[in-house]
Amino acid sequence: MSRHAIATERAPAAIGPYSQAMRSGGHVFLSGQIPLDPATGQLVEGDISVQARRVFDNLRAVCEAAGGSFAQVVRVGIYLTDMADFAAVNAVMAEAFAQPYPARSTIEVRGLPRGARIEVDAILAVD
């Protein structure tokens, strides 16, 4: 099966040896995004809601670069450094997606790149 890298300047450039997303068959696998401002490459300032919105904006930009939208996202993985942020992130996700919501897991982790409090990855189904 072939694979094709997806990239956009509307989301932060990869900070390691990976692609922003990879298309294979009928799916696009989006790498995790942390709350980096794509213009500056720096973490955004603000509470977890501000950071989560930046993450979802970054993911949306990659989805659009792949020719898709959030309506085609079938799975989301959320990684938090503090589960106390769970409710606030839920509220932001409910703003970002429409029903039926994608499948999801939320996992508390010890640390994330650049000291971020949240990272989110996703799988997009495309035809």
pTM: 0.96
Q: Looking at residues 1-14, what average pLDDT do you find?
A: 94
Q: What is the CATH number of the domain that holds 94?
A: 3.30.1330.40
| Helices and strands of the chain, counted as H and E runs | 2, 6
Rounded Cα distance, 54 and 29, in Å: 19
Q: Are the C-beta atoms of residues 89 and 79 closer than 8 Å to each other?
A: no
Q: Are the C-beta atoms of residues 107 and 12 closer than 8 Å to each other?
A: no
Domain span at 61: 3-125
Nearest CA-CA partner of 66 in 1, 8, 3: 8
Q: Count structural domains, the chain.
A: 1
Return the ∠ at Cα 24 (arms to 18 and 30), rounded to 5°.
45
pLDDT in tens, 94-118: 999 999 999 999 999 999 999 999 9
Residue 76, beta-bridge partner list: 104, 122
Contacts for 94-97: CB closer than 8 Å, 24+ residues apart:
95/53, 96/53, 96/56, 96/60, 96/70, 97/70, 97/73
Cα 84 to its chain centre, rounded Å, is 20
- Using CA atoms in the order 113, 37, 16, 29, what is the torsion angle rounded to 10 degrees? 100
- Would you state the pLDDT for residue 28? 98
pLDDT in tens, 50-82: 999 999 999 999 999 999 999 999 999 999 999
